[in-house]
Structure 1
Amino acid sequence: MNEDKRYHGSCFCGAVELEVTGAPEVMAYCHCDSCRHWSASPVSAFTLWKPEAVKITQGDEHVGSFHKTENSHRKWCKQCGGHLLTEHPGMGLVEVSAAVIPDFPFEAGFHVFYQETRLPMKDGLPKFKDLPAEAGGSGEQMPE
């Protein structure tokens, strides 16, 4: 992926726009309870970026924030409620849901928190019980 390539996204109403540049550090699916509740879906397709690769380009005054824990600072548009991104201070990365950047060529590499799945997926990708070992998890994989 071209390191200078830029992809644009926005909230549901378009009041807040963002841009991601280059390539994400990770692309995957999350099945954890928190992501399912936040996204109102059975699975969340996400991308993780270095903070300098993610920029709000319009509507910063409309961005709301909530953090249930210090691990995830979730951001959304205060006008429409549309999701934008989640800052993960402990990881030093910013998560942008794949749906927020519609022209980005999302290609998941694995699943995380698969032990919590409500939508089993048979796609041949590794399915981690929690997180890969290099991300602080057990690294234990589960069968499809």
Structure 2
Amino acid sequence: MSDTSTYQGSCFCGAVTFTVEGEPVGMGYCHCESCRSWSAGPVNAFTLWQPGALHITSGTDNIGSYAKTPKSVRKWCRTCGGHLFTDHPGMGLTDIYAASIPTFPYKPGIHVHYAETRLPMRDGLPKMKDLPAEMGGSGVTMEE
């Protein structure tokens, strides 16, 4: 018997389904222009996982990808356009969008790229100017 949690996820139409196992290495909100443009929203809720935690269960051939920069490879469903994941090769992590895993108990811990925000959020969480130093950023925090 395993104590590892498994969560089911999918794209908007259900053509791509997946499971994610275990716990993420981080959760929070990204305010960068790229995430805002990609999500068509003022902020993106992220969950960062080791790539081995993600298992595509159906629709592998239906996943499209796009890399605007080498830092991120964004993936979506070719049928509905629903956003699924972003691979971050430099960090060795995969961002599985919080909204695509509805039963996962999302608990954000940080705001990243807050200097670019279009939606100020006063929630008491740390607000990073860009990224934490251990993720290649400046490590500078900002006031709420």
Gaps of 5+ in 1: none
Secondary structure in 1 aligned to 2:142?
coil
Secondary structure in 2 aligned to 1:68?
strand
Q: In the alignment, which residue of structure 2 is the partner of 1:28? A: 28
Percent identity between matched residues is: 62
TM-score (norm 1): 0.97
CA distance in 2, matches of 1:116, 1:128: 10
Q: How does 1:1-144 map to 2 (within 5 A)?
A: 4-144=4-144
Q: CA deviation at 1:61?
A: 1.0
Gaps of 5+ in 2: none
Secondary structure in 2 aligned to 1:52?
helix
Q: Which runs of 4+ in 1 moved over 2 A?
A: none
Alpha-carbon distance change, 142 to 3 in structure 1, aligned in 2, over 3 angstroms:
farther
TM-score (norm 2): 0.97
CA distance in 2, matches of 1:69, 1:27: 22
**Number of equivalenced pairs:** 143
Q: CA deviation at 1:55?
A: 1.3
Pairwise CA RMSD of aligned residues?
1.0
Q: CA deviation at 1:3?
A: 5.8
